[in-house]
Amino acid sequence: MAGGDLISKTFRVSEDIHYRRLDRFLRKCLPEYKLSSIYKLIRKSFVKVNGITERDPATELFVGDVVVIAIEADADHMKRLEETRELLPSSIPLSILYEDDHMLAIDKPPGLSVHPGKGIQIVTLIEGLMSYGERKGFRPRLVHRLDKHTSGVLIVAKTPASARHLTEMFRKRSVKKKYLCLVKGIAIADKGRLQGKTAGVQEEMEYSVMKRFADCSLIEVALLTGRKHQIRRQLAQLGFPVVCDNVYGDRDYNQHFRKSRGLRRYFLHCAEVVVEHPVNAEETKISAPIPRDLSSVLERLK
């Protein structure tokens, strides 16, 4: 245990926030923390469940459990907490792809953060969903996320039971997800399968080439696992980074592409998600059309 002063936060597992794994529960309760920071809290023995220190992120939780986190009250931690603001329902336009009494799917626009984070003070998607839920009589529960600049299908649970079912599906990797992305370079193979590991965790996806242009290729990616930045990282490792991705890609190429084709974000779109419905167990396929900013780029490439 570190020697600095500590502040404690206490959370009770309820029907409304029941995530079976400890790390997922903490991520829900501490949205201002990155997942790596949450693992660090667990690893350093700062987390107790029902009075017992737990060091395993996969510790199973049950309704009624009490989770206490001791957080170091140093400058970095306190600054992070101070920068986190309260969630406020705010009315924003939502493009609804699917809705029933148990789940909702929206077409997330690019440039909109799903949840407030460090330095994010503008309205976020979850706040728009909260406003919509207030009008419709439900509380939205996120079961997965998309990065700020990624557009496309985002699934939201409308009941605690649906949230548990859908979260478990994503955890077991039984959700089928397809993405469209434009990558630098001329992909030679029409299709392929990429496998790798990041921090000891298996990553896997399949891809197929949809169209080749002069200096880039449009591909469809089917995610078999779902790690953070997986598509962008694995394609860059293959030698075909996502266009306009300055984290894993080619900055000089991206700068030229941005000026010549007018693309203001990386070219990545979640085009399709297939889930098992949380009540009737039927396969439910939800698709989102390619947004205008990306389709305009493809038209210019022709």
For 89-134, give the DSSP string.
-------EEEE-SSEEEEEEPTT--SS--TT--S--HHHHHHHHHH
Question: Exposed e or buried b for every residue in 19-53, given b needs 16+ CB within 10 A?
Answer: bbbbbbbbbbbbbbbeeeebbebbeeebbbbeeee
Exposed/middle/buried for residue 84 (C-beta within 10 Å: 0-12, 13-18, 19+): middle
| Strands 151-157 vs 268-276: parallel, antiparallel or unpaired | parallel
How far is residue 5's CA from residue 27's CA, in Å, rounded to a whole number?
23
- Report the C-alpha gap between 100 and 243 in whole angstroms: 36
CA angle (223, 130, 231) in 5-degree steps: 15
On the 0-12 / 13-18 / 19+ scale of CB atoms within 10 A, 200 is exposed
Number of C-alpha atoms within 13 angstroms, CB side, residue 58?
2
**Which residue in the block uniquely carries the two structure tokens 């007018």?**
262
Residue 278 near residue 265 (C-beta atoms within 8 A):
no
* Nearest residue to 89 (alpha-carbon basis) of 55, 121, 127: 127
SS3 per-residue string spanning 178-207: EEEEEEECCCCCCEEEEEEEECCEEEEEEE
- Give the 3-state secondary structure of residue 163: helix
Q: What are the catalytic residues?
A: 147
